[in-house]
Amino acid sequence: RTELALKGIMSSGGAEDDIPQAERKTVTDFCYLLDKSKQLFNGLRDLPQYGQKQWQSYFGRTFDVYTKLWKFQQQHRQVLDNRYGLKRWQIGEIASKIGQLYYHYYLRTSETSYLNEAFSFYSAIRQRSYYSQVNKEDRPELVVKKLRYYARFIVVCLLLNKMDVVKDLVKELSDEIEDYTHRFNTEDQVEWNLVLQEVAAFIEADPVMVLNDDNTIVITSNRLSETGAPLLEQGMIVGQLALADALIIGNCNNQVKFSELTIDMFRMLQALEREPMNLASQMNKPGMQESTEKPARRENPHKYLLYKPTFSQLYTFLAASFKELPANSVLLIYLSATGVFPSGRSDSEGPYDFGGVLTNSNRDIINGDAIHKRNQSYKEMHCLHPGDLYPFTRKPLFIIVDSSNSVAYKNFTNLFGQPLVCLLSPTAYPKALQDQSQRGSLFTLFLNNPLMAFLFVSGLSSMRRGLWEKCQDYLRKINRDIAQLLTHSRSIDQSFLQFFGDEFLRLLLTRFIFCSATMRMHKIFRETRNYPESYPQLPRDETVENPHLQKHILELASILDVRNVFLENTLDDY
């Protein structure tokens, strides 16, 4: 590589002897670092995707080499321009790889601060136009690098809720794709246009817009903020368990997705993260040498994001999470998936007799929601049954099932006496709301952004910022009251209280109760299957049908002038 670089200079008129030794060494060192960085980067693909410890030292080494490479090209840019013929797109490639490293570090650690670092490198590429000359070269593979950079940048911006930047990037990407397909008659035109369609649908998935006075859209974040979860008050006796690991599984047919994230997965992962803080405030720029250090505050729970996993993939990740779960910790399993119903009649009512949710198979899915099997006496194979989770109830387990067959998990049995809770979505929604399912589940929206979900079921599609903030304040008050109801209940199952000490789980539980209470009071949610359920069951009169909570929901509806959407006669005894 080095010889080739130097020979290229000779053929353009210079003699090899004319190159000073120091400059020759600069080119040699650069080529060494470049090769080493590529080798390490490619090796990341071979690391196991599960297990939290094996990969860290390898990532550290890769970061170190990229740090040296980035600084080296900055310090020796002149020599590398003259003697190596360093092009701007090559600098862009290095920056893009660093952005990818930070993004993958975020995926491995769930630490949102690394998203900010990825964003800063991806932004620098765009601001400094590193890829601008690519279009002048007659090499389609270089243009594809540029398009992939845009797609990766969009994912990071979506995760950081930088929607204004996303819209600019989508426009630029659209122009780039048009230019690419016009110049090179390629076969991947359809795929790239699909990328554009996916991201456009993803941006528009939120059913309600919050507007500033000048009608620009307010970007709302749904990560845990300092004031997010209701505080524990004196006299609340709760467990000391902490949420340490989560599996977020998306396997819904026809749901909006981008990259390997469905909209439900995207919403749930944000409900399990704190607001990102900037690493730059704690680190030296470019911020890479110490990037493996942890920011000084409580970490986010670790997450695995599994898009359309097969049963064996799901079970492997589940077993890895279970194995590495620390003492006094909770494992959360979130399933957003198409329901699989039992097709044969069964005389027994065991954990494999009610169906479950879909796992991916390599054959086509027939007949949409219902999966049929050849022999009625066998159980569904491409399905996660409640019984499949039984072995993992040996440790504290918190399960959320968002599916048309979520009730299969109502027939759970707590075999080992460990804390165990299942929050289960409605299995059907009133007809008036059904057409929204492509844009994400209403149940998951309630767990991620309860006010937006409340506005949506109230028939509102936009709202002024001032009123939105007033309602958010009121919702915080409702959450505090729900926390009181839950902790003061005399008949509630202890599992709920054992999980209530963790901020993330506390917020999910209070939002679940708010969701359930709202749906039970809503005029068009009239069938039992329209309501969320839980295992163990909550005492209704003390939680989801509590008159005090119902009064609050009507008050929130009054603030929004939508009280007519809700039933009032539930309060006759109040």
49 and 314 in contact (C-beta within 8 Å)? Answer: no
Give the burial class of 367: count Cβ atoms within 10 A of its Cβ; 0-12 exposed, 13-18 middle, 19 or more buried: exposed
Q: Is 399 in a helix, a strand, or coil?
A: strand
Place 10 in a pLDDT band, splitting at 50, 70 and 90.
Answer: very low
- In the predicted model, what is the mean pLDDT of residues 338-358? 83
Candidate from 13-27, 217-231, 312-326, 482-496 with smallest mean pLDDT: 13-27
511 vs 451: CA distance, rounded Å: 10
Place 301 in a pLDDT band, splitting at 50, 70 and 90.
Answer: very high
pLDDT at residue 39 in the model: 94
* Sequence letter at residue 298: R
Take residue 439 and report the two structure tokens written for it.
């844009």
Query: Taking Cα atoms as reference points, which of 148, 141, 143 lies closest to residue 122?
Result: 148
127-158 pLDDT, tens digit per residue, is 999 998 887 888 888 999 999 999 999 999 99
545 vs 511: CA distance, rounded Å: 14
220-279 pLDDT, tens digit per residue, is 888 888 777 788 777 777 888 999 999 999 999 889 999 889 999 999 999 999 987 654
Query: Taking Cα atoms as reference points, which of 306, 298, 246 lies closest to residue 274?
Result: 298
Kindly report the number of other CB atoms within 10 A of residue 327's CB atom: 7
pLDDT at residue 186 in the model: 78
pLDDT at residue 284 in the model: 35
Give the angle subtended at the CA of 373 by the CAs of 369 and 374, to the nearest 5°.
Answer: 150
Alpha-carbon torsion, ordered 413, 415, 419, 422, to 10 deg:
-20
Mean pLDDT of all residues belonging to the chain: 87
- In the predicted model, what is the mean pLDDT of residues 173-185? 88
Alpha-carbon torsion, ordered 393, 398, 401, 407, to 10 deg:
60
b/e per residue 506-540 (b: at least 16 CB within 10 A):
bbbbbbbbbbbbbbbbbeebeeeebbbbbbbebbe
477 vs 470: CA distance, rounded Å: 11
Q: Is 4 in a helix, a strand, or coil?
A: helix
User: Kind and range of the H or E element at 242?
Assistant: strand 242-251
Peptide bond into 536 cis (omega under 30): yes
Give the burial class of 468: count Cβ atoms within 10 A of its Cβ; 0-12 exposed, 13-18 middle, 19 or more buried: buried
Does residue 569 carry a pLDDT above 70?
no
106-130 pLDDT, tens digit per residue, is 998 898 889 999 999 999 999 999 9
The pairing of beta strand 420-424 with beta strand 397-402: parallel
26 vs 6: CA distance, rounded Å: 11
Does residue 347 carry a pLDDT above 70?
no
Place 400 in a pLDDT band, splitting at 50, 70 and 90.
Answer: very high
329 vs 257: CA distance, rounded Å: 31
The pairing of beta strand 329-337 with beta strand 242-251: parallel
156 vs 452: CA distance, rounded Å: 23
Q: Name the pTM for this structure.
A: 0.90
- In the predicted model, what is the mean pLDDT of residues 97-113? 92
Candidate from 212-226, 361-375, 386-400, 560-574 with smallest mean pLDDT: 361-375
List, in order of start, the domains of the chain with CATH numbers: 21-206 (1.25.40), 242-276+300-342+351-361+380-565 (3.40.50)
pLDDT at residue 283 in the model: 35
354 vs 15: CA distance, rounded Å: 79
